[in-house]
Every structure is written in C-alpha cells, then in structure tokens.
Amino acid sequence: MKSLRSLLRRAIVPSLAVVTALLLGAVVIILTDFENLSRIGTDPLGAIGAAVGGVFNGYGAMLTGAFGDPERIRLAFENPSDRTIATAIRPITETLVAATPLIFVGLAVAISFRTGMFNIGGDGQLIVGALGATIVGVGLQTSGLPSLVILVIAIAASVVFGGLWGFIPGFLKARTGAHEVITTIMLNYIGAQVVLFALLGPALRAPGSSQPISKNMSAWVDVPSIISLPAIRLDYGFVAAMVMAAAVSLLLFRTTKGYELRAAGFNMTAARYAGMSAGGSMMLGMTLSGGLAGMGGGFLVIGATGQLTNDLSGGIGFNAIALALLAGLRPSGVVAAGLLFGALTTGGKVMGIQSGIPFDLLFFIMAMVIMFVAAPGLIRSIWRVRVPKPAPEVASVAPTAPAEPV
C-alpha cells in the first residue's frame, strides 16, 4: 500500500505536466486556427466555438489514433474477423511499436545518468547497434540457419556493437578525463558516417537501390509477432524492452554492481574512499548503456523496419534523454514515459491526417512536458497541489534518487 502511495505521489508532477502541456497545446491550436479566427469580428461566439471544436477534433483524433477507435472496436466485437480485429487494435499496437525503441534508449540513458555519465550518444549507439544486427542478418542470409537463431545472433551483435560505442567514451573518461558529453556527441556523428559508409558498399546495400538502404532481411530473419494479424507490426521486441526494464531495475537496486554504479554516480570521491573503482563504474555504466541502446537498434532494424537506413534513429536518442528525465531515471518510469511518447507520436500522426493540425504540434507538447517536469515548482503553483518536495537535488547530477528500490 505504502509503495503504491509513493508511486502515485511520484507520478503527480509528471501527470500534471502532461495535462498542462496538452492544455497549452489546445491554446496553440486555437490561436493558429486562422480560418475560424478570421471571422471573430462578425461572429465571435461561432468563431471561438468552432476553434474549440477544432481542439476536440484534433485531440479526439490523437486519442483514437493512439488507442483505437471505439466504433471500430465495436465492429470488431460484432463481426469478429482478422480484418476487423486488426483494424480495431492497430492503433494501440502501433503505439507499443513506437514506444519500444524509446524504452530501450530511455533505459540506456537512465543507467548512464545514474552512473553520473551524461550519455548524449543514444542515437549513435542505437544506429551502430543496428549496423551490428544488419551485418549479422545480411551475412547469414544464405546460411540456412533458422530465423530465430539468426535473430539471437543479430541481437547479440547489436548489443556488442552498441556496447562498444558506449564503452569508448566511458574508457576515455576513466583514463583521460575526456568529457563524455563531448565524446558521445562526436561519436553520434562518427556512428552515422560509419553506417553510411557501410550502406554505400555493395555488401549490405539493397540490390538495385542507389539510396543508402540495406537489403530487406524480413524474408529470412524477423522478430516474431505477438499477434499474427495482417498489418499488425507489434513483435517480441516490445516484450524484450519490458524484460530489459525489469533487468535494469534489478541490476540497479538489487545487485552490488548496480549499487557501485549508483554510488559512483552520486559521489565519485566517496565511492573511491569506500574501495570501489570509479573508473570501472564509468566504463561499465557506459557499456551497459550503449548495449541497451544498441539492442533497441537491433530490434528496430530486424523487426519493425526490416532494413537499415542511415536515418533509422530519427532523433530517438534525444527524445530518450527527455523521456528518461521525465521518468525520474526509474526503469518503471521509463516504461510509462515511453508509452506516453509512443502514444503521442502515433496519435499525433493520425491527428495530422484527420484534422489538419500539423504533426509538429507534438514537438511543442513534448517540449512543454519536459519543461514542466524540470520545473516542478511551476506545476505545484499552477495546480495548487501540495506535493512534498523531493529531497534537495544536485541539479546537474541526477534527479531524485529513490531511497527504495523501484
């Protein structure tokens, strides 16, 4: 009971941040609805009513786009067939598909931040991990191995590649003091160029394509679907993300290694005084972080996309930083925030198509969410909630440490 209450208490600020951001988003929708606003002089009530109606339209489309259309769900119940069921559940499964890489990279960011390492290199680690999976996937095309075996090797390769991409900045920091923010950002560029180089060569590139796109591997290796219905992409990558969230939580809060990582993250000197190896923690934290981001890339490229492109990550690395902070660096929070961001992006696309409100509004809303989470005092005063202040934070190190395991 007590843990439930503390969970709810921790969720107050993030939840209110989302609500506030959506309300501000509504204001932006109204203020940019020039068509309706242009007749505010002649028909003020009608104009404002129509503009507000536009908000409901847009957010309604976002909701159905992210979670499903009640009408279609009803149809699926009345007349169950593969097609109707697929149509009904497609939005929610797409949300989970979008959330999967975000959760992987969000976990990666959380684990590195907890170690006191500001890993800005999620993008690079994800795409280099994806490259590892692609090399294995394409390389084993003619091996005759079963899909599942290739999958396992490919994912292992993605972890190794991503882990290496994380280990490099960790090693540089531990040995030379090179700041990880700089090195991880630079490795993002290098990673992108390495992938581009690999895709331009004949070994991986899709036959006949002049674009930097790899062969589509789905014919011989794929991540198994959870639900085998047409047009449903949800696969076991999502399950793997959940498992990893649990694993990260156990690692951080139930093992001595995790304890060392957290101790070093909070106070390097005290960790050293206690006989821990601070440099070891930096390298381990960054390697694990890179491995997780790489695994996200592996599942993405083998599962959802089936092929590697050099713009695969699409900014996931940066969104994941925001997401991990929103989550208070807790694995359970990363899952929740990942689902939220997944729902916003999936629903936002539908909103863009159906209501004409540009998809880009989503960036505004997500940015607002992050800003409000970063300023809990603002949320408290807007909503007049008395949230017990979290323990004073070392602002730049890591948001609120939980005193108990998540």
Interface with another protein by CB under 8 A: which range of 140-148, 166-174, 208-216, 392-400? 392-400
Residue 266 interacts with another protein (CB under 8 A): yes or no: yes
Residues in the chain: 406
> Least separation, in Å, of the C-beta of 384 and another protein?
17
Residue 259 interacts with another protein (CB under 8 A): yes or no: yes
Residue 392 interacts with another protein (CB under 8 A): yes or no: yes
Helix (H, G, I), strand (E, B) or coil at 385: coil
> Least separation, in Å, of the C-beta of 54 and another protein?
46
Concatenated DSSP letters of 134-173:
HHHHHHTTTS---HHHHHHHHHHHHHHHHHHHHHHHHHHH
Residue 271 interacts with another protein (CB under 8 A): yes or no: yes
Question: Which tokens is 116 given?
Answer: 């006191």
CA separation for the pair 297, 191 (Å, rounded) = 13
Q: Single out the residue of 53, 146, 356, 405 in contact with another protein (rule: CB under 8 A).
A: 405
Q: Which C-beta is closer to another protein: that of 1 or that of 45?
A: 1
Question: Which tokens is 380 given?
Answer: 């408290």
Q: Which C-beta is closer to another protein: that of 1 or that of 403?
A: 403
Question: Which tokens is 178 given?
Answer: 């090179």
> Least separation, in Å, of the C-beta of 400 and another protein?
8
> Least separation, in Å, of the C-beta of 250 and another protein?
8
Under 8 Å between Cβ of 131 and 316:
no
CA separation for the pair 77, 139 (Å, rounded) = 44
The identity of residue 58, as a single letter, is G
Q: Which C-beta is closer to another protein: that of 228 or that of 269?
A: 269
- What b/e readout covers 5-24, taking b as 16+ CB neighbours within 10 angstroms? eeeeebebbbebbbebbbee
Residue 380 interacts with another protein (CB under 8 A): yes or no: no
Residue 403 interacts with another protein (CB under 8 A): yes or no: yes
Beta bridge partners of residue 214, listed in sequence order = 205
Q: Which C-beta is closer to another protein: that of 182 or that of 270?
A: 270
> Least separation, in Å, of the C-beta of 184 and another protein?
24
Q: Which C-beta is closer to another protein: that of 338 or that of 399?
A: 399
Residue 256 interacts with another protein (CB under 8 A): yes or no: yes
Question: Which tokens is 313 given?
Answer: 């990550």
Compute how many residues bind another protein; rule: CB under 8 A. 26
The identity of residue 368, as a single letter, is M
Q: Single out the residue of 8, 149, 274, 367 in contact with another protein (rule: CB under 8 A).
A: 274
Identify which of 124, 106, 137, 191 has the alpha carbon closest to the alpha carbon of residue 302: 137
- The Cβ of residue 348 has, within 10 Å, a number of other Cβ atoms equal to 24
Which residues from 4-63 bind another protein, rule CB under 8 A? none
Q: Which C-beta is closer to another protein: that of 360 or that of 404?
A: 404
Q: Which C-beta is closer to another protein: that of 196 or that of 247?
A: 247
Residue 255 interacts with another protein (CB under 8 A): yes or no: yes
Residue 273 interacts with another protein (CB under 8 A): yes or no: yes
The identity of residue 381, as a single letter, is S
> Least separation, in Å, of the C-beta of 171 and another protein?
20
CA separation for the pair 343, 205 (Å, rounded) = 33
Question: Which tokens is 237 given?
Answer: 């990558």
Contact positions vs another protein (CB under 8 A): 254-257, 259, 262-263, 266-267, 269-276, 391-394, 398, 401, 403-405
